[in-house]
């Protein structure tokens, strides 16, 4: 896909979805450029969205932390931390990304394209963070804060605080396994990849020495939740 043609046409639709017009559209284009595309087109190690993702991750955490601090003055630190972790986890970021149809605008390498990269939660979540970084670099913190809360406040923060958006997949799976048998269940780290500031964990949930689900996340807890979710999907308990 020709970058300049894509920038003129498709990114206008993405700006409308975001309700934000970029002064520097190349920042938005960069936020939509996956490393697989950059590598395939020999664009250089900084010509993908990973640096913007790194920045967006920090900004998103600050925005959500500030919101929760003001919104829930009687919640202790531990509860605020739990809620924030759910709001900025891979699943919720992918959920927000789908709302603004990020998948349609991604520049992906042929391999990622062929294997469903446009709907993969990890890619969507990373791109969502990259957009946060792009908005901040193109404007300022107040603008970024306003845009983010317009998406996260009603659909994510409130729902998480009420406890009715995200399922504790690990607990649900544990209960099902215990009901069916007295089998032991454990979570096994299959591999780790990436630098310390952007680590990815791959974890299998294993029952009777057999993997029944695999998950990927920024930390072990997220990866375990995703592994349990996949197991529940396979069991027909949870639907994608």
Is 57 known to be catalytic?
yes
The model's pLDDT over 164-216, given as tens digits with 9 standing for 90+, comes to 545 578 888 888 888 877 778 899 999 998 888 778 899 999 998 899 999 99
How large a percentage of the chain has pLDDT more than 70? 88
H or E stretch covering 49: none
Q: Is the pTM of this model over 0.95?
A: no
> What per-residue confidence (pLDDT) applies to 92?
83
Of 3.50.50.60, 1.10.1520.10, 2.60.40.1220, 3.30.1490.20, which CATH number belongs to 3-162?
1.10.1520.10
127: tokens are 């791109």
Q: Where are the alpha helices (DSSP H) in the chain?
A: 3-8, 10-18, 25-31, 35-40, 50-71, 77-87, 90-99, 110-114, 121-138, 141-152, 158-162, 169-180, 220-234
pLDDT at 162 over 80: no
CB 217 within 8 A of CB 226: yes
User: Given this model, what pLDDT does residue 150 score?
Assistant: 81
Write down the pLDDT at residue 91. Answer: 84
What integer pLDDT is reported at residue 4 of this predicted model?
37
User: Which residue ranges does the chain devote to CATH 3.30.160.20?
Assistant: 169-234
Do the beta carbons of residue 231 and residue 212 sit within 8 Å? Answer: yes
pLDDT tens digits, 112-133? 989 998 999 999 999 999 999 9
Instruction: Check 57, 112, 121, 138 and give the catalytic one.
Output: 57
What confidence category does residue 7 fall into, taking pLDDT thresholds of 50, 70 and 90?
A: very low
Among 129, 204, 222, 224, the active-site one is 129
- The pLDDT confidence band at residue 66, using thresholds 50, 70 and 90, is very high
Domain with CATH 1.10.1520.10 in the chain: 3-162
| pLDDT the model gives residue 119 | 92
Taking CA 8 as the corner, what is the angle to CA 7 and CA 14, rounded to the nearest 5 degrees? Answer: 65
Looking at residue 55, the DSSP 8-state letter turns out to be: H
Cα-Cα end-to-end distance for the chain: 30
The secondary element (H helix, E strand) that includes residue 180 is: helix 169-180
How many Cβ atoms sit within 10 Å of the Cβ of residue 32? 26
Domain 169-234 class, CATH top level? alpha beta
> pLDDT tens, 70-126?
887 877 788 788 888 878 888 888 888 998 899 999 999 999 989 998 999 999 999
């Amino acid at each position: 896909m020709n970058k300049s043609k894509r920038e003129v046409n498709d990114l206008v639709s993405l700006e409308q979805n975001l309700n934000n017009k970029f002064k520097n559209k190349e920042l938005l284009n960069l936020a939509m450029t996956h490393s697989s595309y950059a590598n395939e087109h020999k664009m250089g190690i900084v010509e993908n969205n990973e640096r913007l993702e790194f920045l967006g991750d920090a900004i998103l955490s600050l925005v959500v932390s500030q919101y929760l601090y003001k919104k829930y003055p009687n919640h202790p630190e531990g509860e605020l931390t739990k809620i924030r972790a759910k709001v900025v986890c891979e699943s919720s970021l992918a959920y927000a990304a789908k709302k603004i149809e990020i998948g349609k605008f991604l520049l992906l390498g042929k391999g990622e394209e062929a294997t469903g990269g446009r709907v993969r939660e990890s890619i969507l979540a990373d791109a969502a963070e990259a957009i946060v970084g792009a908005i901040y670099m193109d404007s300022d913190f107040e603008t970024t804060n306003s845009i983010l809360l317009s998406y996260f406040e009603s659909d994510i923060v409130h729902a998480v605080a009420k406890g009715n958006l995200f399922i504790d997949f690990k607990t649900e799976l544990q209960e099902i396994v215990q009901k069916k048998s007295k089998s032991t269940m454990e979570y096994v780290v299959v591999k780790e990849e990436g630098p310390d500031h952007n680590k990815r964990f791959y974890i299998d949930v294993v029952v009777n020495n057999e993997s029944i689900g695999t998950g990927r996340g920024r930390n072990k807890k997220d990866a375990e939740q995703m592994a349990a979710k996949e197991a529940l999907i396979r069991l027909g308990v949870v639907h994608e």
